[in-house]
Structure 1
Amino acid sequence: MSNTETKLPDSARRVADLLAELGHDKPVVMLPETGKTSAEAAAGLGCSVAEIAKSIVFRRLADDAAVMVVASGINRVDESKVAARVGPLGRADAKFVKTRIGYAIGGVCPIGHVDKTVMLIDEDLMKLPSVWAAAGHPHAVFNLTPQQLQAMTGAPVADVALR
């Protein structure tokens, strides 16, 4: 375990431990500045905004399930496209996200959720060699390939971008 990993906040440590259990070989990285937005995270990492895999959470109206879309940082999510696949959606407030997903907004990780989450992965992420995802804390991220993201989440790839 690297010196940086020993100093991770609890929520990021939980993600690092989960990644280790999954056999993932990349560490959780702490950004000096917040990575709450895709642009902030990209600036801190020196990568393009497209390479940020942002997690957007909705509330499915039919059963109150959490619906997560992992989208490219440059894309806006088209709620109607997501709803066409999973059913009508509502807004997920910070309390809903923290309770159902297990992470605070700004650090929502695509893995390690408290409750079963309905998930979709933006097809545009699949065109990239690697992406950066939040690791449970606004300053924590980890690198992986889009294929690893799909394998870890089991989420289908879909056209979710507003065009």
Structure 2
Amino acid sequence: MTETQHPAVARVAAALRHAGHAHGPQWLQDSAHTAQQAADSLGVALGAIAKSVVLALPGGAVLCVTAGDRRVDASRLPQQLGAVGRADAAHVRRHTGFAIGGVAPLGFEPEAGASAPTVLIDPSLWRFAEVWAAAGHPRSVFAARPDELLRLAGAQAHDFTESAHV
């Protein structure tokens, strides 16, 4: 299967085109379920992977996009989001339209009655000129400058990671 045949990746590709982004999804040789696998496949630093972490909110979800070498610290998320918790695979799919391992920061297709997630991007990504984000499938990614990723995702920048690198 290629990215053009996979519906979630096609949705991300369409969102990127609609936003005028110059880079479409790339199909990786190997699966990249983890940030380290994606970094290895692309030959980039672990931190240059824009890792997607979905957390559950009361009645919704928040998508935290951070550098692959950082961990989300839920206690540092904006207080106005309310209580956050772990999001299981069903919750992730319900609010994003993506399966875990391929959650893109745009191109959401929430199920009926569900809302798209609030998207936050951690400033740790600005250490890199270019970062790589999931594009709807564990084998599909796209490249963007961090400021462009912020715009594409309609996100807010917010420092929500642990200070120590993993």
| TM-score for the superposition, normalised by structure 2 | 0.89
In 2, the alpha carbon distance for the partners of 1:85 and 1:150 equals 20
1:104 corresponds in structure 2 to: 99
Cα RMSD over matched residues?
1.7
Q: In the alignment, what sits opposite 1:86?
A: 81
- Partner residue of 1:75? 70
Question: Partners in 2 of 1:151 and 1:6 — Cα distance?
Answer: 23
Return closer, same or farther for 1:121/1:7 CA change in 2, 3 Å cut-off: closer
Give the aligned residue type for 1:103. F
Q: What one-letter code is carried by the residue in structure 1 that aligns with 2:154? A: G
Give unpaired runs (5+ residues) of structure 2: 110-114
State how far apart, in whole Å, the 1-side matches of 2:82 and 2:116 are: 16
Q: Which residue of 1 aligns with 2:129?
A: 129
1:26 deviation in Å? 0.9
1:35 counterpart residue number: 32
Unaligned ranges ≥5, structure 1: none
* Per-residue deviation, 1:84: 3.3
CA-to-aligned-CA distance 1:20-54 (integer Å, 9 cap, x gap): 11111112111111111000000000000000001
Report the identity percentage: 37
Alpha-carbon distance between aligned partners in 2 of 1:10 and 1:151, rounded to the nearest angstrom = 23
Question: How far, CA to CA, are the matches of 2:144 and 2:107 in structure 1?
Answer: 15
Q: Please report how far the alpha carbon of residue 94 of structure 1 lies from its aligned counterpart in structure 2 after TM superposition.
A: 0.2
Q: Distance in 2 between matches of 1:6 and 1:81?
A: 35
Count of aligned pairs: 158
